[in-house]
Structure 1
Amino acid sequence: MRVIELLENLSDIYGIADFNKNKDELIESYGEDICRYPYAIAIGHKMIEEIIEKIPLTYNDDKLAQEYLDEYFNSHQRVSEIAGKIANLIQEEGYHAVILDVSGKSEELNLKQSFSNKASANLAGIGWLGKNNLLTTEEFGPRLTWATILTDMPLSDYAGEPMESLCDECTICVKACPGKAIIDDSNPKISYNPEKCGEFLFKRRDEGHPVACGMCLYICPFGNSKVEQLTR
């Protein structure tokens, strides 16, 4: 299939979610429009490794902090461009394709709330929500940005199943979080506190620093060979 071939060529990781399998839950959270099309293509794109590896230095170097912040937004732009190419091919094949932007919205859909691109990746079976509430994959960890395409192209043969968390007893991100925004709990809705995370970032901003952190993204042993070796 041409679409699958293009996904393999352009994305670092991808998966297909069959929304019919979780239809009631999705509609309850986002409204009827989220299931207007039965399949979601989750596209993962790696952030630049050299920039991620400098995250521990960003707390004392505003230039590096700004570099990471810029890469965060630039990577979203890159994955959006990939999604656009995939969507164009789907439409050329005679099917519908709706891209959910970085904020999880589309002018074509009337949603109760912004859709989580992390949710499509999890339902597609390519990752799980870690204790830091970031979509984490075995190969790349949480060092990815995501885009979602909703479509009626028949993709059932490629659809995955939701992935269970592999965080287990690991508490590295809990201990490393400078804002104390993560606790040791298997449920990311409980383990991650967005208010505390925001408080830390805004404090940094008020002190005149770029609004950037990313320590939980950097320190995760998945996708980080140095930390993985230490944990072993």
Structure 2
Amino acid sequence: MVNELISELNTRGVNFIKTVDISMLSAKENRGYSAAILIGIVLSPCYIFRLSKENILDYSEFSEKEHSTDKLAEWTADFIIAKGYKAFAQSERNLGLHGFYDETTKTTPLPHKKIAILAGVGWIGKNNLLVTEEYGSALCMCSILTNAPLPTENRPIIMPKCGECTVCKDICSAGAIHGSTWEIGMNRDLIVDVYHCNGCLKCLSNCPWTQKYINNNSSE
């Protein structure tokens, strides 16, 4: 089942797939599921280049790939259910329909980022986004919770590699980024003021790790 699922998702445009054991998490977080699948689609270097160098506000590719990861997560859940197991896609639509998104605090019980951290994909940056060595923050993610007996690949938690960099804080016109370095168990509000974030994507596109991704793939 796993190889078939990975092959199908790759064919449908998914760039990376990770499976992690979430049985050690609280019941509120894992909701009785033992494993989580994380899928990610990478934003193109040319799109990120335009966002950062031309100083434009363009949600086109970001919105498209956010929607794609959501739909592929729902497709994955259906695929697993058809194999006789339980699964729940943590798409924006599903989280809202089932009451797992708190509009007041703008939180969910188990964010995609936490699953990514458990998988060792990256770390939480000062922009409160997942930052990876390969793509920076230029990626869209969604996750699926399941009881299917999947081989899991939990990795040690990667602590932030932002150092003294404050690019995201300095470029945030809304003043929503505090410049704090993430630590395990840290309250999100100490890192970013989500209530005043205007979603301009500047902190995503101008992160030096994202810029490194652009430079390494400038021919694409």
Residue 142 of structure 1: how far off its partner (Å): 1.0
Contact 2:180 2:190 in 1 (8 A): yes
Q: How does 1:144-159 map to 2 (within 5 A)?
A: 144-159=139-154
Give the alignment partner of residue 35 of structure 2, picking from 35, 39, 50: 39
Does the residue aligned with 1:16 lie in a helix, a strand or coil? Answer: strand
Partner residue of 1:216?
Answer: 203
Does the residue aligned with 2:39 lie in a helix, a strand or coil? Answer: strand
Residue 81 of structure 1: how far off its partner (Å): 2.8
Query: Are positions 1:12 and 2:8 aligned together?
Result: no
Give the alignment partner of residue 70 of structure 1, picking from 34, 57, 60: 60
Percent identity of equivalent pairs: 27
Return the alpha-carbon distance in structure 1 between the equivalents of residues 143 and 92 of structure 2.
9
Residue 140 of structure 1: how far off its partner (Å): 0.8
Structure 2 letter corresponding to 1:13: F
Structure 2 letter corresponding to 1:11: V
Partner residue of 2:163?
Answer: 168
Structure 2 letter corresponding to 1:84: E
Q: How does 1:47-66 map to 2 (within 5 A)?
A: 47-56=43-52, 64-65=56-57
Return the alpha-carbon distance in structure 2 between the equivalents of residues 97 and 150 of structure 1.
5
Query: Are positions 1:82 and 2:72 aligned together?
Result: yes
Change (3 A) 1:138 1:189: farther
Answer with 127-136 or 159-168: which moved more.
159-168
Partner residue of 1:140?
Answer: 135
Residue 155 of structure 1: how far off its partner (Å): 2.2
Residue 127 of structure 1: how far off its partner (Å): 1.8
Partner residue of 2:120?
Answer: 125
Change (3 A) 1:170 1:13: farther
- Tell me the C-alpha RMSD between the 2 structures: 2.8
Return the alpha-carbon distance in structure 2 between the equivalents of residues 91 and 72 of structure 1.
29
Return the alpha-carbon distance in structure 1 between the equivalents of residues 65 and 155 of structure 2.
25
Does the residue aligned with 1:43 lie in a helix, a strand or coil? Answer: strand
Change (3 A) 1:40 1:170: same
Structure 2 stretches of 5 or more lacking a match?
Answer: 103-107, 183-187
Partner residue of 2:185?
Answer: none
Residue 161 of structure 1: how far off its partner (Å): 4.0
Residue 8 of structure 1: how far off its partner (Å): 5.0
Partner residue of 1:190?
Answer: 190
Q: TM (normalized to structure 2)? A: 0.77
Return the alpha-carbon distance in structure 1 between the equivalents of residues 141 and 83 of structure 2.
23
Does the residue aligned with 1:121 lie in a helix, a strand or coil? Answer: helix
Aligned length: 202
Partner residue of 1:91?
Answer: 81
Structure 2 letter corresponding to 1:118: K
Q: Which has the higher helix share?
A: 1
Return the alpha-carbon distance in structure 1 between the equivalents of residues 156 and 6 of structure 2.
18
Return the alpha-carbon distance in structure 2 between the equivalents of residues 18 and 166 of structure 1.
25
